[in-house]
Amino acid sequence: MTLHLQAAGLACERDWRLLFEQLDFELRPGDMLQISGPNGSGKTSLLRLLAGLMQPTAGQILLGGKPLAEQRHALASILLWIGHAAGIKDLLTAEENLTWLCALHQPASAERIWAALAAVGLSGFEDVPCHTLSAGQQRRVALARLYLDSPPLWILDEPFTALDKQGVAQLEAHLAAHCEQGGTVVLTTHHSLERKPSGYRELNLGQWAA
C-alpha cells in the first residue's frame, strides 16, 4: 500500500490534562516530520497515537483513508517503532536481541544482523550481553534495526539519545536517505538536525496546546 497517514482533529488527554487538540497533518512517502515542543506538550503521546499504542481523546488517525483502529495488521506491516528507551533485553546479546525483535515481523539471518551491527559501529560486540554495553552502545543495538530490511514508516522517540557526535551524524544521514528513497520518518528530538530531506517539516506542539 502507498503510505498515507493522516491526523484529523486530533486531541490527546493525559492524567486528566488536555495536551493538544484540533491537530491536523498528513504524512506521505518521502516526508520527515520532527515533533517539537516543551516538556509535557505531548510529543511522545503523539508518537504513540501514530503507532497505534494509544487512542486519541478526540479526532482520528487514518491510514490509507481508513481509521487506524481498523488497520492494525496493515500498520504492523509498515511500521518500525523505537521508543525513548532502547527496548532491548539486558541478558541477551546484541545479536540475540535483534533476532528476537526481527522475528516479530521480518526475520533476519545472522549474517544480515551482523552487518547491521557493523553499520552502527558494533563489530566485535555481536555476542556480548547487552548489560555490559554502555548506554550509547545499547542505543546503537536498537538503531541497528534501521539497517535491516525495515518497513517504510519509522516512528522514533529521541533516537539520538546517548549517541556521540559521529553516531548522530551517521543517524541523520541514514534517516534522510530513508526519506529520499521513499520512506517516512516521524521523530521527536531536542537535537537540531543538520541533514534534512526535501520533505522535512517541523510540528511544534506548543502551538497546539489546549
Give me the pLDDT at residue 196, please.
95
- The per-residue pLDDT for range 84-103, each reduced to its tens digit, is 888 899 999 999 999 998 88
Kindly list the distances between the CA atom of residue 145 and the CA atoms of 59, 131, 201, in Å, as whole numbers in the listed order.
32, 19, 24
What's the structural domain count of the chain? 1
Question: What is the helix (H) or strand (E) element at residue 173, kind and residue range?
Answer: helix 165-180
pLDDT along the chain (210 residues), means of 10: 89 91 96 94 95 94 93 90 90 95 84 95 95 94 92 95 93 97 96 94 84
On whether the CB atoms of residues 37 and 202 are closer than 8 A, the answer is: no
Give me the pLDDT at residue 1, please.
59
Give me the pLDDT at residue 46, please.
97
Q: Which of 205, 203, 165 is nearest to 185 (CA)?
A: 203
Give me the pLDDT at residue 150, please.
79
On whether the CB atoms of residues 192 and 24 are closer than 8 A, the answer is: no
Q: Can you point out the beta strands (E) in 15-57?
A: 17-27, 31-36
Dihedrals phi, psi of 4, to nearest 5 degrees:
-145, 100
Give me the pLDDT at residue 99, please.
94
H-helix segments, 86-134: 94-103, 110-119
Q: How many CB atoms lie within 10 A of CB 77?
A: 14
**How far apart are alpha carbons 185 and 173 in whole angstroms?**
12
Q: Which domain holds residue 186?
A: 5-208
Q: Is 98 helix (H, G, I), strand (E, B) or coil?
A: helix
On whether the CB atoms of residues 15 and 21 are closer than 8 A, the answer is: no
**How far apart are alpha carbons 134 and 131 in whole angstroms?**
8
Give me the pLDDT at residue 104, please.
74
CATH number (domain holding residue 87): 3.40.50.300
Question: What is the helix (H) or strand (E) element at residue 61, kind and residue range?
Answer: strand 58-63
Give me the pLDDT at residue 210, please.
60
Contacts 24+ apart (CB under 8 A), 169-174: 169/194, 169/195, 170/120, 171/143, 174/146, 174/147
Give me the pLDDT at residue 68, please.
92
Contacts 24+ apart (CB under 8 A), 161-165: 161/84, 162/134, 162/135, 162/136, 162/138, 163/136, 163/139, 164/136
β 66-67/153-157 pair status: unpaired
